[in-house]
Amino acid sequence: MELLLLILVGVLYATGIFMMLRRSMVKLLIGLILLGNGANMLIFLLGGITRGKPPIIGDADKVLTGIYADPVPQSLILTAIVISFGLQSFAIVLLKRVHALIQTDDLNDLNTPDTSI
């Protein structure tokens, strides 16, 4: 399982970076999303995968009993997902706006701020 996830994380990072290096804006966006998911998977993987109960205290108990999964990575991932949800939707709106303004998908055409002296 760890090995499988490890490979998955690697593939997500690699494809994410690869997509970001393309010239298309949509691929840039896909790259960012893949990278974000890769990071979340990495937290999940490094938080330690245990085959156990969810970390919820039953009605009858006062403390957690038995083997349970570490809740911290899960809450970290949840936070990271929420944040990336906001950031990615912002990026989508921004790219749409840029596309409406300059009528192209090519990132190479975005050089006006650099070329001005």
Question: Under the rule (CB under 8 A), what is the footprint of other proteins?
Answer: 20, 25, 28, 32, 35-36, 38-39, 42-43, 45-48, 54, 56-57, 72-73, 76, 78-80, 82-83, 86-87, 89-98, 101-102, 107, 110-114, 116-117
Other beta carbons within 10 angstroms of residue 37's beta carbon come to 18
Q: Which is nearer to other proteins, 8 or 45 (CB)?
A: 45
Written as six digits, the tokens of 1 are 């399982």
Phi (first) and psi of residue 94, to 5 degrees: -60, -45
Min dist CB 1 to other proteins, Å, is 15
Task: Identify the CA nearest to 67 among candidates 44, 48, 40.
Answer: 48
Min dist CB 38 to other proteins, Å, is 8
Q: Where are the alpha helices (DSSP H) in the chain?
A: 2-20, 25-46, 71-102, 112-115
Min dist CB 8 to other proteins, Å, is 14
Min dist CB 51 to other proteins, Å, is 18
Radius of gyration of the chain from its Cα atoms, rounded to whole angstroms: 20
